[in-house]
Amino acid sequence: MSVLDNVDAATNLAKNNELQLLVFRVSEKEDSAYYAINVFKTREVVEAKNHFLTQLPSPHPLLEGTIILRGMQIPILNLPKWLGVHLNSDEVSHSRLLICDFNGIIIGLRIMSAYRVVKKNWNEMHAPDSYRLKEDGVVINDTRLEDGSLCLILDYEKLLADVLPQALVNVDADIEALRDIDIPDKLRYGTVLIAEDSKTAQRHLIQLFHKANIDMRLFDNGKKLMDFIGSLDDAQIDKVPAIITDIEMPEMSGFTVVKLLKSNPKTKNIPIIVNSSMTGDNNKREAEVLGADGFIDKTKSHGVIALIAKIMNEMNGENA
């Protein structure tokens, strides 16, 4: 029986500010750390020994090669090595491959064992500043398991950016897209508010807005964004051209951010874009049901400013 059996629907969890994590380990040592990933970014866990690994010429040190699984060629990334853990040949033969889906990019992560699936509320996810002080840090937040063990959630977007940068954001593409877009004055001269906890995704957004010469303000999670909006008076709120939010964030998920903003008369008319690596149809539908005005996946977030401008122009046309 798979540890991924009996996983609750993502949208039902989102309504309660909850998520489910697949907990795993990358070493058999007793004192080895627990790591986790949102189960809705995973497809299956397979035994490495049952899949032939085809090595690639001059690959990235973390790109071990590819396997063929269900007719798909899937790159295999050496997650233990990324975390500074060396597996010997015997451990490699007993390892597992965690098949993941990031915005339609299918990859395999080498792990030692899949432990279990746990349900957590986003307010049980912690992101101490110490994780952000390291420019090359790989941990994005953490939580505690039932026995008190620390469980670390990794910045998988950083891993992808390190190993498969061609699969991620093309910053220059956004500038080209904006050449044919009418940028509303409120966007051109305003400050877009963004809730995003991945430093890698933050860097992409900073580059995008800088090149477009549009101001933005970043918050490390949804709660910090909501606290800031709560500190604004009505006149200041009226000047916010748009809000961008990730879904997966400690303390408060993006779905909760959307629900709170759209249920508040003072903020309900601000365009909200969900920018996420969880691009399943259910998540898109849930974002729409809660009132989000747009949804874009992170590998295509170079189009987010053009999307904001399009939505704002459509809103202005309806109100004209």
124/218 same-domain check? no
- CA-to-CA distance for 237 and 191, rounded, in angstroms? 11
pLDDT score for 33 = 92
Domain boundaries, position 227: 169-319
52/155 same-domain check? yes
52/84 same-domain check? yes
185/310 same-domain check? yes
- Per-residue pLDDT tens over the stretch 256-280: 999 999 999 999 999 999 988 765 6
23/153 same-domain check? yes
Q: What is the number of domains present in the chain?
A: 2
- Per-residue pLDDT tens over the stretch 168-194: 666 666 566 667 778 899 999 999 999
Domain assignment present for residue 3? The answer is no
Domain assignment present for residue 21? The answer is yes
pLDDT score for 177 = 63
- Residue 182 token pair: 């009418």
162/84 same-domain check? yes
- Per-residue pLDDT tens over the stretch 30-50: 788 999 998 888 889 999 999
- Per-residue pLDDT tens over the stretch 85-109: 999 999 999 999 999 988 778 899 9
The domain boundary, picked from 98, 131, 166, lies at 166
- Residue 218 token pair: 């970043």
Q: What is the CATH number of the domain that holds 139?
A: 2.40.50.180
41/162 same-domain check? yes
CA 6, chain centre distance (Å): 23
Helix 199-212 vs helix 171-178: crossing angle, to nearest 10: 30
Domain assignment present for residue 5? The answer is no
230/100 same-domain check? no
17/162 same-domain check? yes
Q: What is the CATH number of the domain that holds 313?
A: 3.40.50.2300
Does residue 73 carry a pLDDT above 80?
yes
Domain assignment present for residue 1? The answer is no
Average pLDDT over the chain reads 85
First to last CA, the chain: 58
- CA-to-CA distance for 186 and 242, rounded, in angstroms? 9
- Per-residue pLDDT tens over the stretch 235-262: 999 999 999 998 888 888 888 999 999 9
Residue type, 301: S
- DSSP for 153-175 reads EE-HHHHHHHH-GGGS--HHHHH
Domain assignment present for residue 227? The answer is yes
- Per-residue pLDDT tens over the stretch 113-151: 998 999 998 889 888 777 766 667 788 889 999 999 999
Domain assignment present for residue 72? The answer is yes
pTM of the model: 0.75
51/79 same-domain check? yes
The domain boundary, picked from 149, 166, 183, lies at 166
Domain assignment present for residue 143? The answer is yes
149/249 same-domain check? no
173/305 same-domain check? yes
Mean pLDDT of all residues in 284-309? 81
Residue given tokens 């860097």 in the structure block:
203
Domain assignment present for residue 156? The answer is yes
The domain boundary, picked from 166, 190, 205, lies at 166
